[in-house]
Structure 1
Amino acid sequence: MNRARRLARLLRILSAVIAEPGLNPLELAERAGVSERTLRRDLVQLRGLGYEIAYTGGYEVQEKLNLEGRTGHRSLGGVYEQHLELLRKQLPQGLAARVTEEVDSLAPAALASLFATAIERYARAAR
Structure 2
Amino acid sequence: MTKEGDIYSFGILLLEMITGRRPTDPIFQEGLNLHVYVQIASPDRLMEIIEPALLPTYDEHTEDETMNHGYSQDEARKLKRLEEGMISLARIGLACAMESPRERMNTSHIVHELHCINEILQNV
What is the TM-score with the length of structure 1 in the denominator? 0.30
Higher strand share: 1
Q: Which has the larger radius of gyration?
A: 2
